[in-house]
């Protein structure tokens, strides 16, 4: 068979130079793929363990209109809605800024990164902060309804991103000025790929989020009009 | 107008043709999300019974999206070939299914019929076809296209070599291209999805692709899958553009969401044709489609996602494409939930495209939040091969590290060629042999062959 020089494999994370068994991948390559896919699948379906967040912060828990994971995956519209009974737990407190932690598509990402990221954010966000809201079966836009119920000016939504085969634990942060249901994705700013040690570390992510929050307060907007020098925005959930 | 069907004392009522079509579709999450899916299994069959009795001519009069409101509808109606349609004009949808499966409907007959078929007709008939029907009918139809090679001949399976990289790094991309070539992939196209939207970066990648193709004298074509407006700029800048790529949808508003209209596609096709880079033919367009794109763009007009996909294919056929593929599992579980739904959509899209006369390939793929895995892809891959798919994707190890989804691998293509006795495009097959990559029997050579490394990777 033709052979790819081994050193070329170092030029890319792509799965090149894999071994063959007949026409198929060899056992090592097959099982390496299975492991990566298993981790990504586990991240999508992992239960959202909020105990660490509860232990670290004063939190309020809410659930979206999606009752379970299967529904959540098929009905993104329900994951963006906050039922009235849930909204009733949230009251305006005079706060102007809220942090929401949602499971999104990777509770694994939240479990690994949410507590240290929120710890890094609290001292530098400024403003008057509402209690941290923890949201189950959440899409990004659920933060709009939560922000509206709290009557805050800014919502920072921290949420598990769609797991890739090599990145099952990536957290995203979405910053929205004047959150209310109906906001478009183009009206938010995003800091993505928060995933140390491979992606953005917690302190750098917190600094970038805080910069965007301060800019949003000063300019009274978020979205495409507020350019940030961070990487390209990912697809929203 | 409303349609009804009585079943054992229950009258099933459908508000209009759109609802008959939508409710006749096999269950899928995207139609549920759109609120147009049947709400019971019996209602679904009742819709199929209504559909089966409808004359095919109905679809020329009762338009699912109004002529005045949508330029895709206008394209469909204005380009309809009544003379070709005359051969089947007397049939109902059910009668059309029976005829398609009969020996009378051979490849030549179906090729002549294609201009007489509208996307709504082919969507309708496939809704009352089982998976085996979708395979049996598609298998009869060969659509052959040419640029530097010949794609779609009987007994052939081509592969798009997809060497994506998260930062568009030329060395990383070149390494993946070499890997694919050494595994027999690349005869459909060597096509990169760029990570960014930069025209300058796309230009760099086009130069890389052209240099590699020239250095190895590969009888294939290259493409950077960037927006058509970028490709127009690249042509203007003198970049070596073989193929012009664009994602397209089945409604005018979906296409507006993609930043295109039919006039822009025509302009891009003309500009690419003017370069005259094809040696065997001048099929210069490459289109991707996928069920769910219209709903995702809020532009579905209450029409089900399979019918809209067929309409997207009607857009493609107006521009004599070299390659068309449905990216069938990429969009996510809110449109196609699991392996069963992805399989069904793959066979539908392939069969509808072939009936409309398109050179259909498939990106057989899934995301990690879909209920699917490699075993599901193996099934779809094998069935698509039996159905006579023109080309599939070749991604290193099936793992696209830029787009974050899983498609088919170079090895998957080797498997499919092996189990079904399929060969690469003839010109590419000869190149693989002369390069020592394959032996006289067409299998990868037992003795190591080496391609001399390009300067980018040497040293």
Is it the case that residue A232 has pLDDT exceeding 90?
no
Comparing A158-167, B55-64, B365-374, B376-385, the range with the smallest average pLDDT is A158-167
Query: Measured between beta carbons, which residues in chain B are less than 8 angstroms from residue A164?
Result: 368, 401, 404
Q: What is the pLDDT of residues A2-54, one digit of tens each?
A: 467 778 888 898 999 999 999 999 999 999 999 999 999 999 999 999 999 99
Flag if B397 and A29 touch (Cβ within 8 Å): yes
Query: Measured between beta carbons, which residues in chain A are less than 8 angstroms from residue B457?
Result: 8, 11
- Rounded to whole angstroms, the Cα distance separating B153 from B138 reads 14
Comparing A84-88, A228-232, B397-401, B432-436, the range with the smallest average pLDDT is A228-232
Contact B428, B211 (CB under 8 A): no
CB nearest A165 (choices: B175, B406, B451): B406
Q: Is residue A100 part of a domain?
A: yes
Instruction: For chain B, list the domains and their CATH numbers.
Output: 9-139 (1.10.220.70), 145-434 (3.20.20.70)
Q: Give the confidence band of B404 by pLDDT, cuts at 50, 70, 90.
A: confident
Question: Residue A236 has what pLDDT?
Answer: 38
Q: Is residue A165 part of a domain?
A: yes
Question: Residue A234 has what pLDDT?
Answer: 36
Question: Residue A237 has what pLDDT?
Answer: 37
Q: What is the pLDDT of residues A131-162, one digit of tens each?
A: 999 999 999 999 999 999 999 999 999 999 98
Query: Measured between beta carbons, which residues in chain A are less than 8 angstroms from residue B166?
Result: 13
Q: Share the mean pLDDT of chain B.
A: 96
- Asked if A105 is an interface residue toward chain B (Cβ–Cβ < 8 A), one would say yes
Contact A135, A63 (CB under 8 A): yes
How many domains does chain A contain in total?
A: 1
Question: Residue A3 has what pLDDT?
Answer: 62
**For residue A196, what is the domain's CATH number?**
3.40.50.11240
- Asked if A6 is an interface residue toward chain B (Cβ–Cβ < 8 A), one would say no
Six-digit token string for B381: 């891959």
Query: Measured between beta carbons, which residues in chain B are less than 8 angstroms from residue A29?
Result: 397
- Rounded to whole angstroms, the Cα distance separating B61 from B43 reads 25
Q: Give the confidence band of B221 by pLDDT, cuts at 50, 70, 90.
A: very high
Q: Give the confidence band of B195 by pLDDT, cuts at 50, 70, 90.
A: confident
Share of chain A above pLDDT 70, in %: 94
Identify from B165, B175, B453 which residue to disrupt to test chain A contact, counting A C-beta atoms within 10 A and taking the largest count: B175
Q: Is residue A9 part of a domain?
A: no
Q: What is the pLDDT of residues A40-62, one digit of tens each?
A: 999 999 999 999 999 999 999 99
Flag if A11 and B453 touch (Cβ within 8 Å): no
Q: Is residue A176 part of a domain?
A: yes
Question: How far is residue B238 CA from its own chain's centroid?
Answer: 29
SS3 at position A91: coil
CB nearest A1 (choices: B165, B175, B448): B448
CB nearest B368 (choices: A17, A29, A40): A40
Six-digit token string for B4: 């009804």
Query: Measured between beta carbons, which residues in chain B are less than 8 angstroms from residue A5?
Result: 453
- Asked if A98 is an interface residue toward chain B (Cβ–Cβ < 8 A), one would say no
Q: Is residue A232 part of a domain?
A: no
Q: Give the confidence band of B101 by pLDDT, cuts at 50, 70, 90.
A: very high
Share of chain A above pLDDT 90, in %: 78
A 115-154: CB under 8 A from B: none
User: Which residue range(s) make up the domain with A87?
Assistant: 51-219
Q: Give the confidence band of A1 by pLDDT, cuts at 50, 70, 90.
A: very low
CB nearest B196 (choices: A11, A44, A232): A232
Flag if B411 and A37 touch (Cβ within 8 Å): no
Query: Measured between beta carbons, which residues in chain B are less than 8 angstroms from residue A36?
Result: 399
Identify from A11, A65, A162 which residue to disrupt to test chain B contact, counting B C-beta atoms within 10 A and taking the largest count: A11
Count how many pairs of residues, chain A against chain B, have C-beta atoms within 8 Å.
139
Q: Is residue A211 part of a domain?
A: yes
- Asked if A26 is an interface residue toward chain B (Cβ–Cβ < 8 A), one would say no
- Residue A135 is inside which H or E element, if any? strand A132-136
Q: Is residue A33 part of a domain?
A: no
List CB contacts of B115: < 8 A, sequence separation 6 or more.
B79, B80, B81, B84, B357
Question: Residue B459 has what pLDDT?
Answer: 56
Give the chain A residue nearest B406 (alpha carbons): A165
Q: Is residue A19 part of a domain?
A: no
Q: Give the confidence band of A201 by pLDDT, cuts at 50, 70, 90.
A: very high
What number is the average pLDDT over the span B217-238?
Answer: 97
Q: Share the mean pLDDT of chain A.
A: 91
């Amino acid at each position: 068979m033709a052979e790819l020089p081994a050193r070329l494999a170092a030029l890319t994370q792509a799965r090149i130079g894999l071994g063959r068994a007949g026409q198929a991948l060899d056992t090592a390559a097959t099982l390496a793929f299975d492991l990566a896919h298993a981790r990504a699948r586990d991240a999508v379906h992992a239960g959202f363990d909020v105990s660490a967040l509860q232990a670290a912060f004063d939190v309020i828990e809410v659930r979206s209109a999606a009752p379970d994971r299967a529904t959540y995956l098929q009905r993104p519209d329900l994951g963006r809605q906050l039922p009235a009974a849930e909204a009733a737990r949230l009251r305006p407190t005079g706060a102007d800024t809220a942090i929401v932690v949602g499971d999104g598509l990777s509770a694994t990402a939240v479990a690994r990164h949410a507590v240290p990221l929120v710890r890094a954010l609290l001292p530098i966000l400024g403003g008057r902060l509402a209690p941290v809201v923890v949201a189950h079966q959440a899409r990004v836009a659920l933060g709009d309804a939560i922000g509206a119920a709290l009557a805050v000016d800014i919502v920072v939504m921290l949420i598990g991103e769609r797991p890739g085969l090599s990145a099952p634990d990536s957290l995203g942060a979405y910053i929205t000025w004047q959150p209310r249901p109906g906001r478009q994705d183009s009206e938010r700013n995003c800091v993505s790929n928060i995933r140390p040690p491979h992606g953005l570390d917690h302190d750098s992510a917190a600094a970038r989020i805080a910069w965007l929050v301060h800019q949003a307060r000063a300019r009274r907007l978020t979205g495409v009009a507020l350019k940030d020098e961070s990487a390209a925005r990912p697809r929203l959930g | 107008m409303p349609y009804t069907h009585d079943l054992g004392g229950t009258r099933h009522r459908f508000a209009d043709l759109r609802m008959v079509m939508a409710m006749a579709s096999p269950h899928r999450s995207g139609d549920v999300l759109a609120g147009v899916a049947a709400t019971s299994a019996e209602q679904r069959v009742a819709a199929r019974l209504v559909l089966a009795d409808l004359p095919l001519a109905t679809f020329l009069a009762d338009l699912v999206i109004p002529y005045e409101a949508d330029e895709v509808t206008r394209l469909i109606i204005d380009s309809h070939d009544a003379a070709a349609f005359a051969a089947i004009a007397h049939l109902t949808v059910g009668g059309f299914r029976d005829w398609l499966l009969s020996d009378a409907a051979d490849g030549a007959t179906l090729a002549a019929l294609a201009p007489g078929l509208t996307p709504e007709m082919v969507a309708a008939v496939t809704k009352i076809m089982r998976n085996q029907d979708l395979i049996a009918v598609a298998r009869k139809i060969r659509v052959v296209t040419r640029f530097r090679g010949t794609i779609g001949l009987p007994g052939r399976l081509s592969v798009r070599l997809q060497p994506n990289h998260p930062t568009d790094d030329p060395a990383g991309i070149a390494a993946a291209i070499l890997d694919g070539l050494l595994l027999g992939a690349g005869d459909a196209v060597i096509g990169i999805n760029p990570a960014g939207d930069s025209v300058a970066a796309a230009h760099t990648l086009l130069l890389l692709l052209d240099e590699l193709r020239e250095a190895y004298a590969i009888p294939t074509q290259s493409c950077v899958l960037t927006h058509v407006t970028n490709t127009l700029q690249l042509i203007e800048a003198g970049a070596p553009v073989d193929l012009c790529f664009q994602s397209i949808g089945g409604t005018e508003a979906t296409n507006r969401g993609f930043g295109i209209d039919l006039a822009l596609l025509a302009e891009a096709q003309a500009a690419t044709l003017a370069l005259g880079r094809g040696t065997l033919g001048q099929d210069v367009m490459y289109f991707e489609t996928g069920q769910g794109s219209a709903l995702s763009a809020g532009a579905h007009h209450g029409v089900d996602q399979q019918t809209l996909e067929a309409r997207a294919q009607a857009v493609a056929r107006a521009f004599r494409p070299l390659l068309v593929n449905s990216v069938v599992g990429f969009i996510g579980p809110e449109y196609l939930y699991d392996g069963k739904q992805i399989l069904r959509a793959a066979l539908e899209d392939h069969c509808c495209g072939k009936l409309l006369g398109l050179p259909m390939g498939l990106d057989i793929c899934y995301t990690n939040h879909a209920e699917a895995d490699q075993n599901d892809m193996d099934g779809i891959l094998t069935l698509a091969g039996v159905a006579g798919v023109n080309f599939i994707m070749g991604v290193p190890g099936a793992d696209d590290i830029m787009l974050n989804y899983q498609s088919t691998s170079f090895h998957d293509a080797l498997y499919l060629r092996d189990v079904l006795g399929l060969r690469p495009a003839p010109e590419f097959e000869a190149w693989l042999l002369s390069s020592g990559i394959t032996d006289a029997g067409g299998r990868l050579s037992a003795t190591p062959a080496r391609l001399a490394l390009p300067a980018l990777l040497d040293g």
